[in-house]
Amino acid sequence: MMAKRRKGLSERHKKILEVLERYQSDVGYPPSIREIGKETNISSTSVVNYYLNQLEEDGYIERDRKVSRGVRLIKTLAGPIQSAAEKVQTALEELINVPVIGRIVASEPVQVPSSDFAYYDPDSSVQIASNLLSTGDKKEDLFALEVEGDSMIDAMVNDGDIVVMKRAQDAQNGEMVAVWLTDKDETTLKYFFKENGGVRLQPANPTMQPIIVDNPQAVQVQGKVVMVIRQMENSVN
């Protein structure tokens, strides 16, 4: 008579996997056969071995029967477990190099080329984690600028910080943007507001006055701030 084929994992299989995962996470080494039995209310070590053999056949664990704790969890109910090397590789793959293409003034606007968007040094870049970006942000649309000035200090943007920008040609009210004032050939970093038929470029510094531009065509948005990299704290906000 042929043995009845198993269909999936039983509750006992799942409980054993949960014990193995908990030990690996909390203790750092595998449980013994007796510890598995105690945690899953299985009194017989042979029964524990029976279930472990099936989990090995199904690719959830690897076993070294020469040692007492020779059970290694390689897959959980959620999926395969990454090795340390695989985790490092995944982390490296998730890092994005963003070119630092120049400087942007966060004070009174200054004339180009002091904040020249066209400047690009291929050796200058910052690395950011891709999971910090919004879903719609594409890495090819990103660039970074070094901030000069203190008009945005209340927005946690200080002199010397790096702002990561997303290329854009328009902005919504309240967004922090890099703009080029075409009539003055000047650039600046400010909050953007359309109002009264013109544009208000608002600093985040109570000691400074907003820049009012009556002709909205003279304000060309170059990009929107998506991330700030603090210089001194070496952290991302």
Length of the chain: 237
Provide the mean pLDDT of the chain. Answer: 81
Q: If you classify domain 90-229 with CATH, what class do you get?
A: mainly beta
- pTM for the predicted model, two decimal places: 0.56
> What pLDDT, on the 0 to 100 scale, is given for residue 81?
67
**Residue 46 to residue 69: CA distance in whole angstroms:** 15
Band (pLDDT 50/70/90 cuts) for residue 127 is confident
pLDDT at position 82 over 60: no
Comma-separated ranges of CATH 2.10.109.10 domains in the chain:
90-229
**Residue 221 to residue 181: CA distance in whole angstroms:** 9
More confident residue, 20 or 82: 20
Name residue 164's beta-bridge partners: 144, 227
43: left (phi over 0), alpha (psi -120 to 50) or beta: alpha
Fold for 11-81, please state it.
Answer: Arc Repressor Mutant, subunit A (1.10.10)
pLDDT at position 100 over 60: yes
Residue 147 · residue 237 · CB < 8 Å: no
Comma-separated ranges of CATH 1.10.10.10 domains in the chain:
11-81
CA angle 16, 40, 55 (to 5 degrees): 25
Of the candidates 175, 162, 171, the one whose C-alpha atom is nearest the C-alpha of residue 219 is 171
> What pLDDT, on the 0 to 100 scale, is given for residue 3?
46
- Residue range 13-72, pLDDT digits in tens: 999 999 998 888 888 888 999 999 999 999 999 999 999 999 999 889 989 888 778 888
Catalytic residues: 151, 190
**Residue 82 to residue 206: CA distance in whole angstroms:** 50
